[in-house]
Amino acid sequence: MSSHMTLFCCYAQKERGLAQRLEQQLAPLLRRGAVGAWNELAIDVVGGWDDVHRHHYTTADIILWLVSPDFLASDYLQSAEMVNALEWQRRNEVRLVPILAEPAPWNDGRFSQLDLLPKNGLALTDSAWPDQEEACYAVVEALHTLIKELDTSPLQAKVQPAAPPPLGAPSRVSVLTGTLPLWRRRAFQF
Residue 178 in domain? no
Question: Is 63 in contact with 8 (CB distance < 8 Å)?
Answer: yes
Is 139 domain-assigned?
Answer: yes
Which run of H or of E encompasses 62?
strand 62-67
pLDDT, tens digit (0-9, with 9 covering 90-100), for 73-130: 888 877 888 888 999 999 999 999 999 999 988 877 677 788 899 999 899 999 999 9
pTM here is 0.76
Is 13 inside any structural domain?
A: yes
Q: Is residue 183 part of a domain?
A: no
Q: What is the pLDDT of residue 160?
A: 47
173 occurs within a structural domain: no
Could you count the other beta carbons within 10 Å of the beta carbon of residue 120? 12
Q: What is the mean pLDDT of residues 121-149?
A: 92
Domain that holds residue 140: 5-165
186 occurs within a structural domain? no
**Total count of domains within the chain:** 1
The pLDDT of 23-43, averaged and rounded, is 85
Among 108, 111, 134, which Cα is nearest to 123's? 134
* Residue 24: CATH number of its domain: 3.40.50.10140
Q: Report which of residues 156 and 91 the model is more confident about.
A: 91
Q: Judge whether 68 lies within some domain.
A: yes
